Structure 1
Amino acid sequence: MALIILAHPKFKTSLANKTIMEEVRKSKLQIETRDIHDLYPDYKIDVKAEQDALLRHHTIVFQYPIYWYNMPAILKLWFDSVFEYQFAYGSKGDKLKGKNFLPSFTVGAPESEYTTLGDHHFRIHEFCKSLEQTAYYAQMKYVDPVYFHGTSLVAGYTINDVKNKAKDQAKRLLRRLTELDNFATLHEVP
């Protein structure tokens, strides 16, 4: 069973992330979802509840839209609060050791803008380095992210374009979760 930390400040009006989550919920996989913006609209994270949720699962998915080349503020606060000393790191901070860390996000602009000569100058993977280091520092297994470009209707994408891409991302995410679950089962990971 996987845990999805959903971090979308405007999830109710989202097109891409909402479609991804609708498709994931239709699957037969056992997945717990924690919509942290819905749980903590006041940004007062219940650290113990979040840590307990992390301890129940071997694979943790972080589902969110890219905001200014990063995660939404509530997810950053969630990491700052939940991945605390002696839980996620430190001499006794091995509670997440060996768990899978899987980013799943959406990007508004087209992929062509995420190149050296594009508007954003860097490939999307370069913006994930802090996530990768966070996983390594917490002794987790960083899994390459699942994502897609082109969620912005303002940029000319249609609702059908975005929904189809989101459904494809959900399929890729579910496939990845199944692979990770099968690997854990074969290797008897708790």
Structure 2
Amino acid sequence: MTLIILAHPAFEKSIANKTIIEELQRSKLDLEIRNLHELYPDFKIDPKAEQEFLVRHDTVLFQYPFYWYNMPAILKQWFDVVFEHQFAFGSKGDKLKGKNFLASFTVGGKEKDYTLLEKHHFRVHEFCKNLEQTSYFAQMNFIDPVYSFRTSQADGYTHEEIKSTAKAHAEKLINQLGEI
């Protein structure tokens, strides 16, 4: 069973992330979704409740838009509060050991912009080292992130282009989750 930690500050307005979640829900996968902004609009995350959900699932999928080369603030807050000492790490912190860790996110711009000589200077994968280290530190199985470019109307992409990209993204996730 897969737990989806959804962290989108404006999910109802989203095209890409909303389409990805809708496609995942239509799949035959056994999923449970935790929409952090819906659950914790005040950012006061209940660590014990979240830990109970984590313990019950074999795979954790983090779904979010790529913001300022990282995750949205609520997801960072979630990690800070939920991945506690003696739960996710420490001498007795083995509650997540062996569980799968998969980040899935959307990137508004073009892939070519995320190269050494372009405006963002780094490939997107290079911004994921914190995810990989968090996974390893919690003794989880890190799975390479799934991400898609060209998912923002602000970057000039149409509703139809974004939806098409998001559907292809969801298909990758469905296949990946089906293989785990």
Superposed pair shares fold, TM > 0.5: yes
Q: Secondary structure of 1:144's match?
A: strand
The residue number in structure 2 matching 1:9 is: 9
- Alpha-carbon distance between aligned partners in 2 of 1:154 and 1:50, rounded to the nearest angstrom: 33
- Alpha-carbon distance between aligned partners in 2 of 1:147 and 1:176, rounded to the nearest angstrom: 13
Q: Secondary structure of 2:106's match?
A: strand
Structure 1 residue 118 displacement after superposition = 1.1
The runs of 4+ residues in structure 1 deviating greater than 4 Å are none
Q: Residue 93 in 1 paired to residue 93 in 2?
A: yes
- Alpha-carbon distance between aligned partners in 1 of 2:35 and 2:155, rounded to the nearest angstrom: 27
- Alpha-carbon distance between aligned partners in 2 of 1:156 and 1:7, rounded to the nearest angstrom: 23
The residue number in structure 1 matching 2:59 is: 59
The amino acid across from 1:119 in the alignment is K
- Alpha-carbon distance between aligned partners in 1 of 2:45 and 2:159, rounded to the nearest angstrom: 33
| Percent of residue pairs bearing the same amino acid type | 64
Aligned length: 180
**1:119-138 correspondence to structure 2 within 5 Å:** 119-138=119-138
**1:1-190 correspondence to structure 2 within 5 Å:** 1-180=1-180
Aligned residues: CA RMSD: 0.6
Deviations 1:132-166 (CA, angstroms, capped at 9, x unpaired): 00000000010001110011212221111100000
- Alpha-carbon distance between aligned partners in 1 of 2:62 and 2:155, rounded to the nearest angstrom: 25
TM-score, normalised by the number of residues in structure 1: 0.94
Q: Secondary structure of 2:154's match?
A: coil
- Alpha-carbon distance between aligned partners in 2 of 1:154 and 1:131, rounded to the nearest angstrom: 26
Unaligned ranges ≥5, structure 2: none
The amino acid across from 1:76 in the alignment is K
